[in-house]
Structure 1
C-alpha cells in the first residue's frame, strides 16, 4: 500500500476504484466499502481510500489506520480539511477531485455520504453526474448489528460504557492503545505492585474510566495485565489521562519502551479513595480479578 498525504501528491496512471470518508475506527461498516473497491481493483484499476482528516477524540490514530489498511488497498490518501475543501461546491468536487485528480472509474460510498460546501452533495448527485464524468456509483447500505446501524458513534457509545466486547464486535478487531512507558510517582512499586504508565496517543479516546483486564505487548510478547484508565484521582490533581497497568509475569525494565495495550473486559469504574491504604486494598482486589480472568481466558500467542 502507498500512503499519500494530500490529494495533490497523488500520481497514478490507472483509473481508480475509490471510497471516501473519515473512516474513524475502520469499523465493520467501513470494511464493507473497502471490500467493494477491492473487488474492482485489477490490471486497469487501483483501489483508493480517501480519508478526510480526523479531529480529536478519535477511535484510531492515522498510524493505526495505515496499519489496518496495509496490504488491503493500493492507496491510502490523507486529505486534510483545508479552506478550499470546506468551501468547494459539490459539483466542483466531482470534477476537480474525483474526475481530474483521482480518475475515478468506480465510486463507492455509504448511503449517508455527503460532500461539498454545506454538504450539498450526496450519492444521488454522484449518480446524476456519473455519465458526464464516466464513472459508476455503488451505494453500500450500512452494516448492522441487530436492529442498529454500525457507526463510529455507536462504537464510541460502547466504549463510553466500558462495553469492550460490544466495541470489538462493532469494529471487527480489538480496541487498543499504544504508547511509551513513562516514569511516574512509583507509588505502585512502593505498595508492592509495580505498574507501567502510558498516555494515550494524541487525539485517541480512552474507554470509560475504570479498571480493565487487558493484554500487553512488550518486545513482541503478549502478557496478561490489569490496569486503570483515567486520571488517578486519589494520588494526583493533574487530570491528565493515563493508563496505569500491572503486567503479570513481566520482570524487565519497560521504561521508555513502546507497548500496546489491548482492552479485554471492564471490571469497575475509576474511584477516588480517601487514603492510599484504601487504594491499595482495592488494587489488590483488582489484581485477584485479573488473575481469575486469565485463568478463565488463557492468553493466546497472538
Structure 2
C-alpha cells in the first residue's frame, strides 16, 4: 500500500488511471468502516481498478469546533496498518486546514474527487464534505454531474447500536472493553514505548512496563484490566493499571503500567503495544504497601484465571 500526503487543492495525479475512491475519516477502522472498504474493494476488483481511500490528518472537529482535546482510537500509523490489511492500494491523507474546511461542496468534488480520478465514490450515508445541510451524500449527485458513480453505504449496527467511532470512544473511556470489541471488530490497542518510572512495582514484586503513548489516544477509564502486551513481536498475557498511583504518589498524572506475566527482561525505551480485554476493578487507595501487594496478587490470579478460561479466544 502506498501512503500519499496531500494538501488542497490537489495538483498532481497520483495514479495513471481511474480509481475506486472510498471516503471517510475511518478512526478505528471499525466494523462499519470495514464493511464500507470491503464494498469498495469488491467494486475495484470488478472494475479492475485500484482502491484508494482518502482520510484526513486530523479530525475535522479540531478545525470546525476548535476541539484541541479530541481523542482518537487510532494513530495515523495504526490506521494505515489496518488499511493495508484490508487490501487498500493507496491511502491518501489530506491535510485538514482552516482554508480547506471552508471550501464548498462543488469545490471538493471538482478539486479533490475529480483530481483523484475517481471512477466510483463509496462513502457512508452520513459522510459530509462541507456544510452538513449542503455537502452531504444526498447532494453529491448534483455536484458530480455524472462524472463518477456513487455508492452510499447504509448505517451498520450491532444489537441495534450504531457502529460508530463516537460510540467506540465512549466505550473505551468507560472501560467497556467487551463492547469495544463488538463494535470495533478487534480489541483496542495502545502503542508506544516503555518509559522510565519510579520502579515502585518492581519493589513490590510486580515490575511494570510504563507506557509512553501519544497524548491524543483514547484512554480507558481508571482501573485494572486483563490485557496482552506485545514485546518483540510476541504477545504476553498481562495485567495493566490505568491510574494515578494513589497509594504511593500524590501526583495528578495518569500512568498506564503493564505487569507482563512470565517475563523478565529490560525493555526500557523499546516499543510495546497493549491490547485491552476486560476491566476487572477500579483504583483503590490502600493504607499500606503490603495491602497493595496483596491486592496485586489477587488481581494477577484472577486475570490469569480469565485467560485460562479463554478470555483471549474471542
Scaled by the length of structure 2, the TM-score of the pair is 0.88
Paired with 1:298 and 1:138, the residues of 2 have a C-alpha distance of 38
Q: Equivalents in 1 of 2:188, 2:257: separation in Å?
A: 17
Q: Secondary structure at the match of 2:80?
A: helix
Matched with 1:161 is 174
Residue 219 (str. 1) matches residue 232 (str. 2): yes
Could you report, residue by residue, the CA deviation over 1:38-67 in whole angstroms, capped at 9, with x for unpaired residues?
A: 112247522111112334410010010011
- The match for 1:139 is 152
The DSSP-based 3-state class of the residue aligned with 1:115 is coil
Answering whether residue 4 of structure 2 is matched by residue 4 of structure 1, we say yes
Q: Distance in 2 between matches of 1:182 and 1:267?
A: 24
Residue in 2 that maps onto 1:27: 30
Match of 2:214 in 1: 201
RMSD (CA atoms):
2.1
Shift of 1:70: 1.0
1:49 paired residue number: 53
2:107 is equivalent to residue 92 of structure 1: yes
Match of 2:197 in 1: 184
**Cα contact 1:17–1:106 (8 A) shared by 2:** yes
Q: Distance in 1 between matches of 2:294 and 2:19?
A: 59
Deviations 1:72-120 (A, max 9, x none): 1111111121122111011111111111x21111111111111125663
Give me the whole-angstrom Cα distance separating, in 2, the residues matched to 1:119 and 1:64.
32
TM-score, normalised relative to structure 1:
0.92
Ranges in structure 2 where 5+ consecutive residues have no aligned partner: 60-69
Q: Does the CA contact (< 8 Å) of 1:88 and 1:116 recur in 2? A: yes
* 1:246 matched residue in structure 2: 259
Aligned equivalents of 2:171, 2:148: Cα separation in 1: 38
Taking the aligned partners of 1:111 and 1:162, their CA distance within structure 2 comes to: 29
Given that 2:173 and 2:218 are in contact with CA atoms closer than 8 Å, whether structure 1 keeps it comes out as no
* Worse-matched range after superposition: 24-33 or 239-248: 239-248
CA contact (8 A) 1:95 1:133 kept: no
User: Partner residue of 1:106?
Assistant: 120
Give 2:96's aligned residue.
Answer: 81
| Correspondences of 1:230-245 after superposition (within 5 Å) | 230-245=243-258
Distance 1:127 1:232 in 2: 55
> What is the distance in 2 between the residues matched to 1:286 and 1:65?
32
Deviations 1:253-275 (A, max 9, x none): 12121111111111012233344
The count of aligned residue pairs is: 299
Measured in 2, the distance between the counterparts of 1:272 and 1:10 equals 59
Are 2:72 and 1:58 aligned? yes
